[in-house]
Amino acid sequence: MFEHAPRPSPFPKSEPAARRQATLAEIPPISLLHLRRPEASYSEAAPQPLCGDHLHPTVSIIIPTFNRAAILQSTLTQFLNQPFKDYEIWIIDQSDPDDAAANFEFVTETGDARLNYLYLTQRGPSNARNEGLARAQGEFILFTDDDVVLLTNDFIGAHVRAYDDPKVGGITGRHIERVLRMNAKHTTCHVDWSGRTIFNLFGTKRVPVGSCKGSNMSFRMAAIRQVGGFDRGLKFLEETDLSTRVLKAGWRLMFEPGVEVFHLSVPAGGVREKDRLQAEIVRFECTAYYIIKHRGWLGAVPFAACFALIAGVRVITFRSLKTFPTLCQAMYRGFLSGRTAPDQQIPNARIGAGYTKGP
């Protein structure tokens, strides 16, 4: 389905086939991943396919994408083959013309009414997810990245069944990461007193967590309506910011081991910074923004002390004395912007800024 009547794609017809094949070749085999399987839980019950009205689905799946056409198509195919059928998918495309054309062609050729396509000219994960939220019709909103492998046979249904407690406002699942390394012994996901993100989402038991992780998370739409969408001021920690607001509103966040993905973290594409120094600048600025927004100046004191030490270490890492003032300036910018009114409103679907009306 398209937001407007389908018409010929405005994108060039050439497809970056060689580039997409190269991207796929960079992904290692995923055999022998399951060193430990999660303990049996209710979410591993026999699949319960539900076939409802696709105009009023139980689940809305929102997948932002940027220049990962082949990987996205693999991810979408996995969702379309799930036994749980009562859902819609919103593909929020921010790609360059070649990949956007390939994504558009895949949607049109697939011809599944549950697939919805929206092309954005304004890039960024928060903006993309908010534009998806503006159009979502589901009771539960499932977010995932465009480069995941679903390792649960009934992935969508398991997310829905995890909301057996009406106090649960969000679910994050088990992650097998190709790149990121866990830095905690036990299952957790939160920003600690120093501003460092502490996470281990490879556990085997259902436990409360402080934040959901964007490559495998879902929320009740009622919780999102209560607290607002993703903060566009954040290019990093945007899902942690939303999770924190959901917790403050009185909801619970749970880790569900029976909902599992392998996160490829494909080098090509994606909207995250590839340059290491620029990635650190974004991290410093956005973490400072998050700390001021949720913990105030009192919480900024231990954060500033810790990140000043990290900035000193980065001088050695990047072999440049300029690194220290550069990162401290980024932290200062985050403090200032964190005191302004956040831009986290969900737009009107008809007048949402920064997107074309669709191919």
Last residue of a domain, one of 197, 229, 263: 263
Q: Is residue 9 part of a domain?
A: no
Q: Please tell me whether residues 289 and 156 are part of one structural domain.
A: no
Flag residues of the chain having pLDDT under 70: 1-55, 268-274, 349-359
Q: Please tell me whether residues 99 and 134 are part of one structural domain.
A: yes
Q: Please tell me whether residues 242 and 288 are part of one structural domain.
A: no
Which pLDDT does position 58 carry in this prediction?
Answer: 96
Q: Please tell me whether residues 259 and 137 are part of one structural domain.
A: yes
Q: Please tell me whether residues 121 and 223 are part of one structural domain.
A: yes
The DSSP-derived string for 177-226 is ESS-----SSSEEEE-TTS-EEEE---SS-EE-S---TTEEEEEHHHHHH
Residues forming beta bridges with residue 220, ordered by sequence position: 140
Which has the closest alpha carbon to 237: 268, 199, 181, 204? 199
Q: Please tell me whether residues 43 and 185 are part of one structural domain.
A: yes
Which pLDDT does position 270 carry in this prediction?
Answer: 64
The DSSP element (H or E) to which 61 belongs, if any, is: strand 59-65
Q: Is residue 224 part of a domain?
A: yes
Which pLDDT does position 51 carry in this prediction?
Answer: 43
Which has the closest alpha carbon to 60: 152, 164, 131, 149? 131
- Amino acid (1-letter code) at residue 77: T
Q: Is residue 184 part of a domain?
A: yes
Residues forming beta bridges with residue 191, ordered by sequence position: 197
* Residue whose tokens read 């005191």: 339
Q: Is residue 26 part of a domain?
A: no
Q: Please tell me whether residues 258 and 301 are part of one structural domain.
A: no
Q: Please tell me whether residues 202 and 326 are part of one structural domain.
A: no
Q: Please tell me whether residues 66 and 198 are part of one structural domain.
A: yes
Give the structural domain span for 94. 37-263
Q: Please tell me whether residues 110 and 244 are part of one structural domain.
A: yes
Which pLDDT does position 85 carry in this prediction?
Answer: 95
Which pLDDT does position 272 carry in this prediction?
Answer: 61
Residues forming beta bridges with residue 219, ordered by sequence position: 141, 170
Q: Is residue 7 part of a domain?
A: no
Last residue of a domain, one of 217, 236, 263: 263
Last residue of a domain, one of 263, 297, 325: 263
What is the number of other CB atoms lying within 10 angstroms of the CB of residue 56?
11
CA distance 47 to 155: 9
Q: Is residue 18 part of a domain?
A: no
Q: Please tell me whether residues 244 and 282 are part of one structural domain.
A: no
Q: Is residue 197 part of a domain?
A: yes
Which pLDDT does position 132 carry in this prediction?
Answer: 97
CA distance 187 to 164: 21
CA distance 335 to 304: 10
The DSSP-derived string for 4-36 is S-----SS-S---HHHHHHHHHTSPP-TT--SS
Q: Is residue 343 part of a domain?
A: no
Say which CATH number the domain at 129 has.
3.90.550.60
Q: For the whole model, what pTM was predicted?
A: 0.85
CA distance 161 to 231: 28
pLDDT tens-digit profile of 156-209? 999 999 999 999 999 999 999 988 889 999 999 999 999 999 999 999 999 999
Q: Please tell me whether residues 188 and 306 are part of one structural domain.
A: no
N- to C-terminal Cα separation, the chain = 11
What is the number of other CB atoms lying within 10 angstroms of the CB of residue 296?
11
pLDDT tens-digit profile of 73-83? 999 999 999 99
The total number of structural domains in the chain stands at 2
